Structure 1
Amino acid sequence: MSLKHPDYDQEIQRLKDTKEYIHKIVQLSEGKQESYKGNIKEAFVNLDHLDSSLSYINILVNAKFFDMTSSELEHLKRVEDKPYFARIDFQSQESNEPTSYYIGKVSLYKKDTQESIIVDWRSPVASLYYDGRLGEVEYKTEDRTYTGNLTLKRQLIVEDGELEEIRDIDITTRDELLQSSLSGSSDNRLTEIVSTIQAEQNEVIRSDLSKPVIVQGVAGSGKTTIALHRLSMFIYSYAGKVKPGEMMILAPNHLFIDYISEALPELGVEQIKQTTFIEYVQKCLGKKISIIHPDRKLISLLENEEDSMVKWASSFKGSLQFKHVINRYVTDLIRQFEVKESFKVEGFTLYKAKNINRLFFKEYNYLPINKRIKKIKGVLQTTFKKKRKR
């Protein structure tokens, strides 16, 4: 529990200070907005009395600053109750002590000292949270490569402005966090996965943005989530060069667009155009088109043209009865993987059978069977390396 963590009081104070600073910035931004509104109104009033060109310039400048302030204000308000989700401590070769970085969905610096308060998850140093293991690591920026020692990786569970839990991350807790995120409601999965991105997913998100990438996976494997995070990374990396309004998401249908709509503002990509391929082609051609090769099987089922056996099979596959049959089969299949003996090397017990079964049947039950086995193999190898000398 968080109350027992030795750094609990320190993290509570850090969260309090961060929330207070965000609140001050929000108030300051709201004040600036009113000032810009006043300047624009005054410029319109004086439009007929003064040099019209100067008044127009005044209006445009204040409107630009108003938009910039509105964007900053909107993002800060969105993270005010959950400013960050992780912390890493990194000591570079040039430094005498580690620097703590708190990772969130936006960047925030102190206006006077430029001291980092929150590091954007898309920044180069944040990649250490997703990819780096404790010990010697490195991360790259556009200018150079930084080498040093990663001394801490910590998950901070913050809800409604309160610190609920602190978890120092190793292999097991990393997967527990992902499981917790995936087991939540589908409405939250797209927005919360940013705190539990796995190394393989992070590699896709941060891969060369100038080259096309094909991501292949089964339904529910996270392809959409990773695509949206890659878009967010693209906007972050090319800020000032490419505007979100110049980008487009081509979706298979409007149901898909509705599904991703909740995640887009959270990831800062709400200004990207969203449409289906058919609508995009229709707009380019300037006229309506029809599908040349419709799904005759689906239409025949709807029009009762299919033979009775096929209709029965299609109906049965969509029934709860078929679901129960599949569930029983999967349950029987999984039971075959129960471990009876502990993992031993030279007579020494390194991992008890009950703990292996706990990983397989409980901790990793969100994964396919072959991936569970791969994860457990990694845990056993790590355990062996740690205990080998002893």
Structure 2
Amino acid sequence: MTEKYKTSILDHADYQKEVERLEFTKLYIKTILEASRENKQSFTENIKQAFVDLDYLDSSLSYINILTNAKFLELAGNELERLESILNKPYFSRINFKKQEDEVEEILYIGKTSLYDRENQMPIIVDWRSPIANVYYDGRLGEVSYEVNGEQREGYLSLKRQYEIEEGKLKAFHDIDLTTHDDLLQKSLSGKADNRLTEIVTTIQKEQNEVIRASLQHPIIVQGAAGSGKTTIALHRISYFLYTFGERFSRKADDSCAKQAFHRLYI
């Protein structure tokens, strides 16, 4: 990145607001992480105490207590892992979108996982696999639509913005019309193999998004040169289906769903 380009970003009218939004998001994540660590410790202590209080003459209540706290402990652990993984790069894009039936435009930040304000349930980060994220991946500026549970929702897309965030610092952002910025895409594809799965989601193009979200009812053939991201898109397809239909599957069924999604995508 040239010094001239850096200066232009610093001079952008939204630069300070974007820095403040990033700092707010990181602070909120840290607050939730601290609460999750405290909850995890509390659930662990509750389980230990439940074992101490275990009475073979009337054990059902104690066992329920153990199982309940064990489930809460698992949820707290999952939340810790999920939020720790995004702390230094909580989101990668933003859309300004006004639904047809609304009067107020929404500003939505899209990342690898969702995060909601615990007081008002407003989205702080929108998961890239959510229906409205299609507006970012598929839509161009202007009138757009996306599907939710078989119904079309329409609205107006006035801004699509991509971010470069490294180690929790805002390095640059780009306002775009098409989904991806070529420099970002090439950087994602040329990076280390263990980073490609997490980085490619920031630059998914319209055609790739169609493959990821396509129905499991029909086979798909994808052609591309070596290193073009075919396998990575297949893995994101699996991630999308587990996110969308995860409540329908047991852990064992998740493996079956993953295999089906992968096998139907010819690489």
Determine if the TM-score, normalized by the shorter chain, exceeds 0.5. yes
Following superposition, the deviation at residue 240 of structure 1 comes to 1.3
For the residues of structure 1 that align with 2:53 and 2:204, how far apart are their CA atoms?
A: 54
Describe how 1:366-377 pairs up with structure 2 within 5 A.
none
What does residue 213 of structure 2 align with?
206
Q: Decide which of 46, 51, 60 is 1:53's aligned counterpart.
A: 60
Aligned length in residues:
253
Following superposition, the deviation at residue 210 of structure 1 comes to 4.2
**Structure 2 vs 1, CA of residues 35 and 210 (structure 1 numbering), >3 Å: closer, same or farther?**
farther
Q: Decide which of 1, 5, 24 is 2:12's aligned counterpart.
A: 5
Which digits, 9 at most, give the CA deviation of each residue in 1:211-241, with x for residues without a partner? 4433333422222101100000011001211
Describe how 1:47-126 pairs up with structure 2 within 5 A.
47-48=54-55, 51-126=58-133
What does residue 170 of structure 1 align with?
177
Q: Decide which of 158, 161, 185 is 1:154's aligned counterpart.
A: 161
Identity across matched positions, percent: 55
Which digits, 9 at most, give the CA deviation of each residue in 1:339-385, with x for residues without a partner? xxxxxxxxxxxxxxxxxxxxxxxxxxxxxxxxxxxxxxxxxxxxxxx
Q: TM-score, normalised by structure 1?
A: 0.61
For the residues of structure 2 that align with 1:64 and 1:76, how far apart are their CA atoms?
A: 18
Following superposition, the deviation at residue 191 of structure 1 comes to 1.9
For the residues of structure 1 that align with 2:130 and 2:50, how far apart are their CA atoms?
A: 39
Question: Does the Cα contact within 8 Å between 2:159 and 2:175 map onto a contact in 1?
Answer: yes
What does residue 224 of structure 2 align with?
217
Question: Does the Cα contact within 8 Å between 2:51 and 2:66 map onto a contact in 1?
Answer: yes
Q: Secondary structure at the match of 2:246?
A: coil
Which digits, 9 at most, give the CA deviation of each residue in 1:89-121, with x for residues without a partner? 101111223101100011100111001100000
Question: Does the Cα contact within 8 Å between 1:167 and 1:173 map onto a contact in 2?
Answer: no
Q: Secondary structure at the match of 1:239?
A: helix
Q: Secondary structure at the match of 2:159?
A: strand
What does residue 133 of structure 1 align with?
140
Question: Does the Cα contact within 8 Å between 1:5 and 1:166 map onto a contact in 2?
Answer: no
Question: Does the Cα contact within 8 Å between 2:179 and 2:203 map onto a contact in 1?
Answer: no
For the residues of structure 2 that align with 1:120 and 1:153, how far apart are their CA atoms?
A: 16
Give the number of the structure whose residues are more often strand, by fraction: 2
For the residues of structure 2 that align with 1:180 and 1:223, how far apart are their CA atoms?
A: 16
What does residue 44 of structure 1 align with?
51
Letter in 1 for 2:10: L
Question: Does the Cα contact within 8 Å between 1:181 and 1:189 map onto a contact in 2?
Answer: yes
Letter in 1 for 2:75: M
Which structure has the greater CA radius of gyration? 1
**Worse-superposed segment, 18-27 or 50-59:** 50-59
Over the aligned positions, Cα root-mean-square deviation in angstroms equals 2.2
Describe how 1:270-289 pairs up with structure 2 within 5 A.
none
What does residue 253 of structure 2 align with?
246
**Structure 2 vs 1, CA of residues 243 and 229 (structure 1 numbering), >3 Å: closer, same or farther?**
farther
What does residue 187 of structure 2 align with?
180
What does residue 3 of structure 2 align with?
none
Structure 2 unmatched runs, 5+: 1-5
Q: TM-score, normalised by structure 2?
A: 0.88
